């Protein structure tokens, strides 16, 4: 998959110290590029360099989901599963990008036909009353699977399996797989377990409780209220992420580094 640098932009999170300064340095490295704050993103771009954290990159992914823009992130946040390069790696990053020493991965996204909302990581469904549990009925292709008495449900992509879904007890899924994972949040039963389904499945969630309202959040950022039922399915578009060909940039390397897997406890 080719990368066009013809319309390169740098998007930075103005709430993060040093993000604006780093974006200005990046502008000097890419000819005719411009820097924009997170709230001033233009409608189109060919290559988007994101300066912030994973949350900043998720917002950019939703913004440019209808285009063929490729995204790359500099991590100035915490874990950085998506935004992987560090601020002190500008020279190495620029050289690798300009020499073509990278790969581009297509990441599955979610879409709700009910609201038009989209997400790269996950969609979280909760009942109308945020402070208490709700009975949520899960349908797969209009076939009722189960009813959960829980704080909510997480519908996650493989990319989002290392985010909220992981904290709620869901499995880690390789981003190369075409599937979704459905994870109940604090279910009031021991036999409620996460389930992995193909992306071809149509997911519907209803409730028998009054009022029949839902709170739906996309990527932990965009929230809305929905009545009666919520439908979720695979988005027709993919998010495209640029990954450098480093020695330790594979998904499993990132898991080991970020989650500290395989490290013996201190004596």
Q: Which residues of 130-149 are buried (b: 16+ CB within 10 A; e: fewer)?
A: eeebbebebbbeeeeebebe
The radius of gyration of the chain's CA atoms, rounded to the nearest angstrom, is: 19
Catalytic residue among 17, 39, 43, 54: 54
Give the Cα separation of 17 and 170 in Å (integer).
Answer: 33
The Cβ-side half-sphere exposure at 42, using a 13 Å CA radius, reads 14
Q: Is the peptide bond before 211 cis (omega within 30 degrees of 0)?
A: yes
Across the chain, the runs of DSSP E, i.e. the strands, are 8-12, 34-37, 47-52, 70-75, 102-107, 110-111, 118-119, 122-127, 134-140, 143-150, 152-156, 179-185, 195-198, 203-206, 213-218, 222-227, 229-234, 239-244
Active site residue 54: yes
Q: Which of 64, 50, 39 is nearest to 9 (CA)?
A: 50
| Residues catalogued as catalytic | 54
């Amino acid at each position: 998959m080719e990368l066009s640098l013809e319309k390169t932009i740098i998007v930075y999170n103005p709430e993060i110290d040093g993000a604006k300064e780093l974006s200005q340095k990046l502008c000097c490295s890419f000819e005719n590029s411009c820097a924009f704050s997170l709230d001033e993103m233009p409608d189109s771009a060919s290559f988007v360099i994101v300066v912030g954290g994973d949350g900043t990159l998720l917002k950019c992914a939703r913004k440019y989901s209808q285009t063929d823009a490729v995204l790359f992130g500099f991590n100035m946040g915490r874990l950085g599963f998506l935004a992987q390069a560090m601020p002190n790696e500008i020279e190495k990053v620029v050289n690798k990008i300009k020499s073509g020493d990278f790969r581009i991965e297509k990441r599955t996204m979610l879409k709700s036909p009910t609201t038009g909302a989209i997400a790269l990581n996950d969609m979280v469904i909760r009942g109308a009353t945020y402070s208490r549990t709700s009975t949520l009925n899960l349908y797969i292709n209009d076939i009722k699977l189960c009813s959960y008495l829980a704080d909510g449900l997480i519908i996650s992509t493989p990319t989002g399996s290392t985010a909220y879904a992981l904290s709620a007890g869901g499995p880690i899924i390789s981003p190369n797989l075409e599937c979704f994972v459905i994870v109940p949040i604090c279910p009031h039963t021991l036999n409620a377990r996460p389930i992995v389904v193909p992306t071809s499945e149509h997911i519907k969630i209803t409730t028998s409780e009054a009022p029949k309202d839902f709170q739906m959040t996309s990527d932990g950022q965009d929230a809305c209220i929905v009545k009666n039922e919520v439908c979720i399915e695979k988005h027709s578009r993919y998010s495209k992420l640029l990954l450098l060909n480093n020695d330790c940039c594979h998904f499993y390397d990132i898991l080991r580094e970020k989650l500290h897997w395989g490290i013996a406890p201190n004596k």
